[in-house]
Structure 1
Amino acid sequence: MPRRLTRLLRRRRRLVVTLLLSAAAGVLVDGLTPASALTVPVIVVTRDLPAGAVLTSGDLTRADWPPGTVPDGTVTADVATGGRLGAPLRRGSPVTDAALLGPGLLTGAPAGRSAVPLRVADPAVLRVVRSGDFVDVIVPGSEDPAGTPGPARTVARSVTVLWTSTSRAGAAPGSGAWPTANDDAPLAVVAVPRTTAAELAGTTGGTGTVALVLVPPGP
């Protein structure tokens, strides 16, 4: 080693030692930092679940995700437990407010909307109507004393379908898929203005069912 370099190292020995100790301390601190400090806890499902399934504590577990990968609207285990899914979830998927039937199902919908379940007159319609479609909701007219039905009328135009009972394909009857009162009921949940929701509740005609007509998105 050249004498000049040797003399330089001797003069800077303290500085070199300090730098080496600082680097070693940094490596040690990084190694001792728990993984949880570098991740965010997220509640995810432990198995594939159909739309309408009621979440239990056994369906949920905690996973540690990098902060930049966590979606908006994730919920705690307390909120998720007992909630009903508005769409299927694959194992390992995070549970968000938008995935649960209820107010979260209306995430992104215009203000003043309600999620209304409707009994559909023709079950075959739900083979083509899917979540995200737009429909007109038509109620049958009431029968007169002679038993003649009155004219049908449209009570909601170009409303968004949030969920249909066909989303429950593959779920066994009584498995907790929503709704539980009648596993064969052809149902659809739509987002409608609150005033329309009240009207739908009282004007479904004598059959208690409605017709859905696929339409383009409204203005």
Structure 2
Amino acid sequence: MVAAHDLAAGHILGAADLVAAPVSPHMVPDGALRPESATALTENNAPTTALQPPAGTEGVSETGVVALASSTDWLGNQLSGPLRRGEVLTDASLLGSGLLIGAPAGSQAVPLRLSDPSTLALLRQGQLVSVVLSSSQGMDGPVHNDVLAESVPVLWTPALAQENGGLLPAQENAAIVVVGASADQAVQLAGAINRGKVFLIL
């Protein structure tokens, strides 16, 4: 299944957003959405024609569209990044566990609340950042800067959220970024904002 039109990051998938298309077996990525069982039902249980193969593609061999899940499992999910018209949808295209697809074994998604929310405007999904904790003992104590994690990938920012949905309510996600981290890094990052100020090095 491919995007029927350009889709923005954070878009919630509807039946009209996907269409079946012939794809060479050698070009089908792992985790691609297959057209098998792709006919979604509307609220009145009528088949949605937007998911039927486009004209001229009848009889396309399923070997060209083998994938891991059916489209009915994907409708209503939120895109983790933008898709161009004709781009194949995969499990990594969706918010959720798919954010860690391809990451080293044991990787975890860790939310961070930043002390400087304006930094979020500079972030892009997949960008590598280092996380720094700035802390001091007492009001007049010396400031210590500690690198909690280096070169961790950005998985999610508020730019991927929509007014009607997202990982967190809009009023709660203004300073939140989600990064991928190893188990040891995740322990250091968890609740870091409670130990000082959290900043990113881009």
After TM superposition, the structure 1 = structure 2 runs for residues 146-161 of structure 1, keeping only pairs within 5 Å, are: 151-161=144-154
Q: Distance in 2 between matches of 1:147 and 1:205?
A: 18
Instruction: Give the structure with the larger helix fraction.
Output: 1
Match of 2:180 among 180, 191, 194: 191
Give the SS at the match of 2:88.
coil
Q: Distance in 2 between matches of 1:54 and 1:142?
A: 43
Give the AA of the match of 1:50.
A
Q: Which one has a bigger Cα radius of gyration?
A: 1
Q: Aligned pair 1:201/2:159, yes or no? A: no
Give the SS at the match of 2:72.
helix
1:95 aligns with: 89
Q: Superposition RMSD on alpha carbons, in Å?
A: 3.1
Q: Distance in 2 between matches of 1:186 and 1:47?
A: 31
Q: Distance in 2 between matches of 1:114 and 1:179?
A: 16
2:30 aligns with: 72
Give the SS at the match of 2:79.
coil
Q: Aligned pair 1:106/2:100, yes or no? A: yes
Q: Aligned pair 1:53/2:11, yes or no? A: yes
Q: Which digits, 9 at most, give the CA deviation of each residue in 1:21-57, with x for residues without a partner?
A: xxxxxxxxxxxxxxxxxxxxxx223332222223233
Q: Aligned pair 1:181/2:169, yes or no? A: yes
Give the AA of the match of 2:181.
V
TM-score under structure 2 length normalisation? 0.65
CA contact 2:113–2:193 (8 Å) conserved in 1: no
Q: Which runs of 5+ in 2 are unaligned?
A: 34-69
Give the AA of the match of 1:64.
P
Give the SS at the match of 2:190.
helix
Give the AA of the match of 1:86.
S
Give the AA of the match of 1:44.
V
Which 4+ stretches in 1 moved above 4 angstroms?
146-150
* Displacement of 1:151: 3.8
CA contact 1:139–1:210 (8 Å) conserved in 2: yes
